[in-house]
Amino acid sequence: MALSSHLLQFPVHTSSPGPDYLLFYPSPCQSSAPISIRKAMIPLVPIALNVSARVRCLTKSSAEEDRWSESETLVSDGDDGGEATREDAKVQQRRRERIATSYGDSLTLGIREPIYEVVEVKSNGMVSTRKINRRQLLKSSGLRPRDIRSVDPSLFLTNSMPSLLVREHAILLNLGSLRAIAMQERVLIFDYNCKGGKAFIDTLLPRLNPRNINGGPCMPFELEVVEAALLSRVQRLEQRLMTIEPRVQALLEVLPNKLTADILEELRISKQTLVELGSRAGALRQMLLDLLEDPHEIRRICIMGRNCTLVKGNNSVECSVPLEKQIAEEEEEEIEMLLENYLQRCESCHGQAERLLDSAKEMEDSIAVNLSSRRLEVSRVELLLQVGTSCVAVGALVAGIFGMNLKSYLEEHMFAFWLTTAGIIVGAVVAFFMMYSYLRSRKIL
C-alpha cells in the first residue's frame, strides 16, 4: 500500500478558552495510540505524518473516546500544559466514576425473576422436587403471566378464595393452602410442606398406582388431579367438623349452669373455629356451584389433550375423530357427577357447621340473659342496702344532735336516754319499710 508523507502546519490562535487537542492515527482503521497535539500557546511546529491515500476511518465509539482521553493525559508541554492535562484527567476520571455508579445502580434496581420450589408428580407416580422460574413455568405450561397470580404463594393474601381455572393446556387449582398446576402428564405443587399440599400428595399417589384401579376404567390424569384435590380438601373440612362437634356438644350440656372463665373461653374458641370452617366450606361450595352452572368450563376440561374444539355459538364439541367426541361427552357427564358429589358433601359440612354455630350463638344469648339476671339481683341488693343506710343515717343524725356539749335539760331525767334510743331505732325501721313499700309499688324492686 503506497503511503505519502505530508507536512501539516497548525495555527496557534484559538478562540476556545479550554485545552483543545487534535488527534491523528498514523494508519487508518487501527487501534494504535493516537498522536495528540495540544493547542495552547505553543509555537508553530511542522509535523510529518504518513497518511493513507486510500482509506480514512473515523471511529466514534465510546471505548475509543476513553482511550483517547487516557492518551491525552500523557501529553504535557511546559508547566501550564501539565497542569491543564491533570485537570482534564480528573474530569475524565469523575465522568467514568459517574458512569460506573449509574450502571451499578441500574443493576441494583433490576427486578429479580421469582423462582418457585415445587414438587412435580408425574402421571406414572414419580415424585421429584425442583426449582423453576416464572419464565420456564409459563413456557412449559402454556400459561400467561396473569394466570400465575391465582397459584402464586407470595400472593396468598390477595388470592385466598378457592378457584379452579381451566386453560388450554393446564388447570390451575387454588384450594386454600393447596396451590397446584395440573397438566396432561404432570402436576406442579406449590407450598408442598403445608397441610393442604401434604394431604393432596397423600391422596393423589395411591390413585396413580395401577394396583389400586381394580380393573376399572382409568380417568385422565388431569381429572385424577382435580378429584384428588377436591377429595383432600373436603376430607380436611369434614375432619375438622368431626373434631369440633363433640366439643361444642359438651359445652352446650354444661352451659349455662356452670359459668367459669375457662368454659367461656373454650366457647369463644369453638365459635371462632366454626365461623372459619363455615366460611371455607361456603367458599368451596360457591366455587363448585359456579363450575356446575358453567358447562363451557367443564367441556374445556374434557377436550384437554384432544384434537377437539368448542364452537363459540352453542359451545358444542367438535372433534376430528368421532371416538374422541364420544369419550369427551362421557367424561363431561362424569365430571358433572363428580362435582355434584363433592358439592353435596361440602353443603353437608357447611350446613352442619352453621347449625353448630347457631347453637353456640343461642347459648351465648342464654348466657347473656343469665348474667343479666344475676346483675339485676346484685342491683336489687345494692338498692336495699342503700335504703337501709339512708334510714340508719337519719338515726345517726339524731344521735349526733344529742351528742353536742350543750345543755338540753334531758340529761337530768333518768329514762331520757332509753327513750331516745328506742325512738331512733323504731323511726329507722319504719322509714325503711315505708321506702321499701314505695319501691315495690313502683316495681323498682
Question: Using CA atoms, how far apart are residues 42 and 36, in angstroms rounded to an integer?
Answer: 14
Q: Which residue has the higher pLDDT, 231 or 319?
A: 231
Q: Are 3 and 51 in contact (CB under 8 A)?
A: yes
pLDDT of residue 103: 40
The helix or strand, by DSSP H or E, that contains position 190, with its residue range, turns out to be strand 186-190
Q: Are 81 and 40 in contact (CB under 8 A)?
A: yes
What nine digits make up the cell of 147?
394466570
Per the listing, cell 402454556 goes with: 142
Residue of 335, 324, 334 lying closest to 297 (CA atoms): 335
DSSP-derived 3-state class of residue 361: helix
CB atoms inside a 10 Å sphere around CB 394 = 14
193 band by pLDDT with thresholds 50, 70 and 90: confident
Phi-psi map region of 29: left, alpha, beta (phi>0 left; psi -120 to 50 alpha): left
CB atoms within 10 A of CB 334: 15
Whether the Cβ atoms of residue 364 and residue 396 lie closer than 8 Å to each other = no
pLDDT digits (tens, 9 = 90+) for 268-295: 999 999 999 999 999 999 999 999 988 8
Q: What pLDDT is attached to residue 313?
A: 66
Torsion over CA: 323, 324, 328, 334 (sign): positive
Look at residue 33 in the predicted model and tell me its pLDDT.
43
Is the pLDDT at 353 greater than 90? The verdict is yes
Residue 211, helix vs strand vs coil: helix
Closest CA to 356 of 271, 414, 235, 422: 271
Rg of the chain taking only CA atoms, in angstroms: 47
Enumerate the β-bridge partners of residue 165: 172
- Residue that wins the pLDDT comparison between 252 and 213: 252
> For residue range 206-221, what is the model confidence (pLDDT) as tens digits?
888 766 655 444 678 8
In contact, 142 and 167? CB cutoff 8 Å = yes
Lowest mean pLDDT among 69-73, 176-180, 292-296, 421-425: 69-73
Burial class (CB in 10 A: 0-12, 13-18, 19+), 383: middle
Q: How many CA atoms lie within 13 A of 439 on its CB side?
A: 15
> Strand pairing partners for 178?
175
Amino acid 227 reads E
Q: Identify the band that residue 62 occupies on the pLDDT scale cut at 50, 70 and 90.
A: very low
pLDDT of residue 146: 86
Are 117 and 131 a contacting pair, CB within 8 Å?
Answer: yes
Give the Cα separation of 20 and 15 in Å (integer).
10
Q: Among 317, 321, 345, which residue's Cα sits nearest to residue 331?
A: 317
In this predicted structure, what is the pLDDT of residue 27?
43
- Say whether the peptide bond before residue 11 is cis (omega within 30 degrees of 0): no
Strands (E), 268-351: 308-310, 317-319
DSSP-derived secondary structure for 46-108: -EEEEEESS-------HHHHHHHHHHHTT---HHHHHHHHHHHHHHHHHHHHHHHHHHHHHHH
Note the pLDDT of residue 212.
61
pLDDT for 74-108, tens place per residue? Answer: 333 444 444 545 666 665 666 565 544 444 443 44
Q: Among the listed ranges 4-18, 215-229, 259-273, 393-407, which one has the minimum average pLDDT value? A: 4-18
- Cβ neighbours of 24 (radius 10 Å): 12
- Inform me whether the pLDDT recorded for 68 exceeds 70: no
Tell me, letter by letter, the H, E, C secondary structure of 126-177: CEEEEEEEHHHHHHHHCCCHHHHHHCCHHHCCCCCCCEEEECCCCEEEEECC
**Mean pLDDT of all residues in 331-352:** 91
